[in-house]
Structure 1
């Protein structure tokens, strides 16, 4: 999951993720953050530990399950390296099934110049065009521009909403949020007609340049372990694995 010496850095990332990708509704229950965003994105609709060794007793887990069911969502738990052993065992014993597996990646920004290419347009707030552009290039619930807007409109920290233009046409999108020396990178999408041209790489490099200009020392992100293309790209750009985690869900009928 993560080396013992990295737990502090894992905690730094996990706490910042709550602010970089804010849910419309968020509860703090003990050492856990419980988030609701109408089902849009796993991070924004799950319970996550915010302290090394964080535990849930059975009554609290049942409360969290009821909160999700009341919202029409399956109970969802992110099992990061911060979760306590007893809770890990309890979640598995209750029949929570693995929905997806992810990596938390990180890299230093010490070698990055604080510069941005002219074809990369960066805005401090998410415009309707940026939201529509991201939603239009995704599928399923992630194509819901309204649910995406509810998340990104809630960002209150310094942010970059990036659009890559080719001959004035927006073809790639991404975002970054800076907090206390670290920048989260996410929502990177490239129009299918323009893939394979290195635009995702250049867009991510631009977001790292923005982060460096914001005096961030590190950039971090989360990626599905099964996304081989994205993992190769991030690895080639200097990101390395900090931790791995599972997102598990309990069927609504359970």
Structure 2
């Protein structure tokens, strides 16, 4: 398997792990719509290495998002060439959210006694995630709906000490990959190894579900996160992406 094939498997696995509640499929592109849950599931994404022409795509996307009261946002990976970026440059779109997509083989199956993993998020897990991510009530409700809609085999993990939730994450398995999402640590437990222990346990769980490797997406300016993932074997990114936002829209 070459890097491009791996990259598109990772794209699909990440999409399965964080599915948009509403989507419009259009000539090799998908226009995702999710309201208050960030750019990734509120943006236009390519579905493969040769999506349809961008000249027709941009005005359609702008009308689609405007009809839902949102700016047009395009998620531009380095897997599809520079045509979309050039078209958006000409239209005055701004650039934001540079992100790395990481990958590593799962070398061992580790389960930590302080980590629990369940196939569904219970109310306590969801409340802890809302607290650690500082979600508003509307965002928390939308988050709950999305994670409960995931179709891929899923593991919702919690690292706890004395009954307190110290670190949380979940993973899903598809395309032979464990995709990690929503990795978050209580401020009091940062740099104390809780997240690493949590992720190692999720990797062990993923291996038990048939995953041979792990992948995730991390912001390019998240230095602490990248250091954590390097310690777990995820080094150079397989590919990168960024977002382009419609001018004059925030």
What's the TM-score bracket when you normalise by the shorter of the two chains?
A: over 0.9
Is 1:57 the counterpart of 2:54? The answer is: yes
Q: Match for residue 200 of structure 1?
A: 195
After the TM superposition, which residues 124-135 of structure 1 pair with which residues of structure 2 at under 5 Å, given as runs?
Answer: 124-135=119-130
Tell whether the 8 Å contact from 1:54 to 1:82 is kept in structure 2 after alignment: no
Secondary structure at the counterpart of residue 72 of structure 1: coil
Unmatched segments (≥5 aa) in structure 2? none
Is 1:30 the counterpart of 2:19? The answer is: no
Q: Alpha carbons of 1:141 and 1:225: their partners in 2 closer, same or farther (altered >3 Å)?
A: farther
Shift of 1:252: 5.5
Find the aligned partners of 2:158 and 2:81 in 1 and give their Cα distance: 40
Partner of residue 241 from structure 2, selected from 229, 242, 245: 245
Unmatched segments (≥5 aa) in structure 1? none
After the TM superposition, which residues 95-174 of structure 1 pair with which residues of structure 2 at under 5 Å, given as runs?
Answer: 95-109=92-106, 111-113=107-109, 115-139=110-134, 144-174=139-169
Find the aligned partners of 1:72 and 1:37 in 2 and give their Cα distance: 12
Shift of 1:77: 0.6
Give the aligned CA root-mean-square deviation in angstroms: 1.9
Q: Alpha carbons of 1:160 and 1:38: their partners in 2 closer, same or farther (altered >3 Å)?
A: same
Find the aligned partners of 1:206 and 1:142 in 2 and give their Cα distance: 30
Q: Match for residue 67 of structure 2?
A: 70
Which digits, 9 at most, give the CA deviation of each residue in 1:203-222, with x for residues without a partner?
Answer: 11111111111121110000
Shift of 1:8: 1.2
Partner of residue 221 from structure 2, selected from 226, 230, 246: 226
Find the aligned partners of 2:249 and 2:43 in 1 and give their Cα distance: 18
Shift of 1:140: 6.3
Secondary structure at the counterpart of residue 45 of structure 1: coil
Q: Match for residue 191 of structure 1?
A: 186
Find the aligned partners of 2:101 and 2:86 in 1 and give their Cα distance: 22
Count of aligned residue pairs for this structure pair: 248
Q: Alpha carbons of 1:213 and 1:142: their partners in 2 closer, same or farther (altered >3 Å)?
A: farther
Is 1:177 the counterpart of 2:177? The answer is: no
| TM-score, normalised with respect to structure 1 | 0.91
Tell whether the 8 Å contact from 1:46 to 1:77 is kept in structure 2 after alignment: yes
Find the aligned partners of 2:156 and 2:227 in 1 and give their Cα distance: 24
| TM-score, normalised with respect to structure 2 | 0.93
